Structure formats: structure tokens, C-alpha cells
Amino acid sequence: SAPPLLEDTVDVVLKSSDGVDFRVHKMFLAIASTAFESTFLLPSNPQGETESTLPSVSLVEIAEVIALILAYIYPIKRPSRPSLALLKGALRAAHKYDMQPVLSGLRPHLLHQDFLRYDPIGVYGIASTLGFKEEARVVYESSLKL
């Protein structure tokens, strides 16, 4: 959700697939994502909307993935390195929603030495699926050294 300082100005709710609501700002989402920018350009019907009936967008991602993505959109302290499973979900969502700032922030985590050491095949799969050629090359070369 939005940082407490900005809570009074939220104007949309993101709904996770596991039932968590994130009260956020269209502006932040639109700046970070061309997909959301396009969504918010569509006409809306603000008449009758109240604080309790903010427009909402249902997402297929779980709350943990959405929270990680929002940490890279809002100017807040970012969490420490996520698990590989969470990183995979966030990278896939950021790719799907064309969130270049989020991708730029999360991609370096993919090459963390623990991931390369303990799950190079998983990292390679993520990198190749998302078209991260440089990361896939690094994983391939590092796996030759094991």
C-alpha cells in the first residue's frame, strides 16, 4: 500500500489473488507501467465514487508479489533480497505490466551468488523465459565453473 504520508490521496485499489487490497495511486502506477498508464487513460465514472468505493483492479498475482513490486514503485525503503520464488513472480509481473523501473531494480537480484550456487537451473529458466540474455549468459558461464 501507499506510504502512510500519502494514504489520504490514494485513488485506486489493487486486489491480489489471495484477497489483499493495496490502496495506491494511479499516478505512481502509470509512471512505472505503460500497461497501467493505458488502463488509467480509459474514461472512468467518478460520479458516485466515495472513499469506500475507490475503483479497483484485480490482479492474478499474490499479495507478496504485489508488495515487492510496489516497493520498487514508491519512494520507500526497499526490502532485502527476496527469495527466488518471490523474485520470479515479481519479475514476471513487472514484465507483463511493462514496469521498466521495477525490472531494472529487481534484475540484479537474479544474479545473487546464493541463487547462482544453489539453483542455477531455476535462475537460467527465469532469465531465458523473460528474455534476459545477459543474465542467462552469466548463469550459463558460472554453472560451467561448478
Q: What is the pLDDT of residues 71-102, one digit of tens each?
A: 999 987 888 889 999 999 999 999 999 999 99
Residues listed for the chain? 146
Answer whether residue 141 is part of any domain. Answer: no
Answer whether residue 92 is part of any domain. Answer: no
For residue 76, give the CATH number of its domain: 3.30.710.10
Answer whether residue 99 is part of any domain. Answer: no
Answer whether residue 75 is part of any domain. Answer: yes
- The per-residue pLDDT for 7 is 72
- The per-residue pLDDT for 146 is 64
Q: What is the pTM of this model?
A: 0.85
Q: Chain-wide mean pLDDT for the chain?
A: 88
Answer whether residue 142 is part of any domain. Answer: no
Q: What is the CA radius of gyration of the chain?
A: 17
What is each CA distance from 119 to 8, 60, 68, in whole angstroms?
Answer: 43, 26, 21
Task: Tell me, rounded to whole angstroms, the distance of Cα 113 from its chain centroid.
Answer: 22
Per the structure, the count of domains in the chain is: 1
* Measured distance CA(86)–CA(89) in Å, rounded: 5
Q: Which domain holds residue 8?
A: 4-80
Answer whether residue 126 is part of any domain. Answer: no
Answer whether residue 26 is part of any domain. Answer: yes
Answer whether residue 27 is part of any domain. Answer: yes
